[in-house]
Amino acid sequence: MESRRHINVLPVGTISFTFTGTTTTTFSVPCPPTPTPTGCCYAVGNFCGFKFPSSCNLTADAIYDCKSFGADPVLNTTCPAGRCLTDCDTSHCVLQCELELQVGMDKGIGSNIGDIFAVNIGSNSIGGLLYSSKNTGGVAAVAVNRRGTEFKASYPKVYTGTSDDYWTNQPNLELSSWSMAAAGAFPNNSFIMATNENGGVAYIFDDPPGPLTLLKFTNVAGNARTFCADNLSCFLDIAIDGNGHAWVIDWMGYLYISTLSQFTNAGGPMKYIGRIPWLGADTTTTIYRSVGIAFDSYGKVYYCGYTNTATTASTWIRTASMETPLQASIFYTDTGKVYGDMASCAFPRNDISNLLR
C-alpha cells in the first residue's frame, strides 16, 4: 500500500507528521521558538546548508526548498557527483557540501604548493586532495560555490575549475595592480573578489564569469580601527554569510563585518569587531598571519593562518561560533606548510545583530 504523509501545524510549536499506510506512526518535531513563515525549516534558498526535521527523511546528494509554513521540503535539484551529503543529528538534518570547507596551500612541501584540500569538520583534520595545482601556482585566494565551481587566485593569474582535471584561466578577472585577492561565494553561486589596494574595492561576478559589478566598502564612523586606512588594514580574505553580511579579515588579523547585506550589491560600511586574539605581534624573527575565513553549515566561523620564523613554519585552523567570533579554539595544527586561504559553500544564517550594534 502506498504511504501518504499528512502535516498538521499544532499550536504548541510543533509539527506533527502522520504516515498512513500499512502502519500509522505519529510523532512531533520541535519547531524554532518563534515559528517563521517557513515553519520548521531553518533556511530557505537554493544552497547547501539547510536544516530540516530529520523526520523528513531527506535524500542524500540533493538540495531542498521549504516553500511555506508547515509545507514539505520540495526537491529542488540533485547535487553533482557527491557534492552534497545529508548529515543528521538527533533532531535535524543538514544538507551540506562535501566541499563545504577547504583550505589551499600557498607554500608547502613539494607538490603541495597550490593544492586545495578538504577540511574534515567531524574529525578536526585535513582530508583528501580536492584540487591539485596543475602548475597554476600557490593559493592567494580561493572560493567555492554550491555547484562545486572553484575560484583560485594565484597572483597575477586567476582561474576557475569544476573538477580536478583542469583549471581555466580567466584573464577578464585579472585586474592590474592587484597585490593580493580575497575571494568568497554567494548562495546564488556568484563570486566576490577584493583587493587591499586603491582604498579597498571588491567586484561581484557570475558563474561562469561575466561583467564585473563594483562594490565600495567604507568605514563605520567611530571604528576603533579604520577599515582600509592602508593596505594592511584592508582585504586579506572575505566570506559571505547566509544573511548577506561580508566578513573580512585584514593583513594584521583584524575582523570587520558589513552592516549591509551584500545580496543587494550594496558594499557599504564595515563594522570593526576586533583582533583575532591569539595572534602575536610581528617581530624581526617571527611573522603571525591569519589568512583565511570561512563558515560551516552549523554556524561556526573558521580561520586559517600561519606562524613563520627564520627556521620553522607552523599552520593552524581555529573555530568559533558566529555570535562570538573572537572566542576561537584550536581546530587543527600542522608544520612545514603555509596556508593561503580557506573557502566554503556553506551560508549559515545566524543572528549576529549583537555584533553590529
**pLDDT, tens digit only, all 357 positions of the chain:** 332 222 233 233 333 333 333 333 333 333 333 333 333 444 434 344 455 555 555 665 566 665 554 556 666 666 555 445 555 544 455 555 555 789 988 765 445 788 888 888 778 888 888 888 887 888 889 999 877 788 998 877 899 987 666 789 998 888 765 556 799 999 888 999 998 777 788 999 999 898 999 988 999 989 999 999 988 899 999 999 988 999 999 988 999 999 999 988 888 899 999 998 888 888 888 888 889 999 987 789 999 988 888 778 888 999 999 999 999 999 999 887 788 899 998 888 889 999 998
Q: What span, in angstroms and rounded, lies between the C-alpha atoms of 100 and 295?
A: 8
Nearest Cα residue to 256 out of 238, 231, 283, 278: 238
**Residues 6 or more apart whose Cβ sits within 8 Å of residue 126:** 103, 117, 118, 119, 120, 332, 334
Structural domain boundaries of the chain? 4-97, 101-356
**CATH number, domain 101-356, options 3.40.50, 2.60.40, 2.120.10, 1.10.287:** 2.120.10
Q: What span, in angstroms and rounded, lies between the C-alpha atoms of 357 and 96?
A: 30
pLDDT at position 57 is 59
Q: What span, in angstroms and rounded, lies between the C-alpha atoms of 238 and 204?
A: 12
Radius of gyration of the chain (CA): 21
Beta strand spans in 186-234 (E): 191-195, 201-205, 213-219
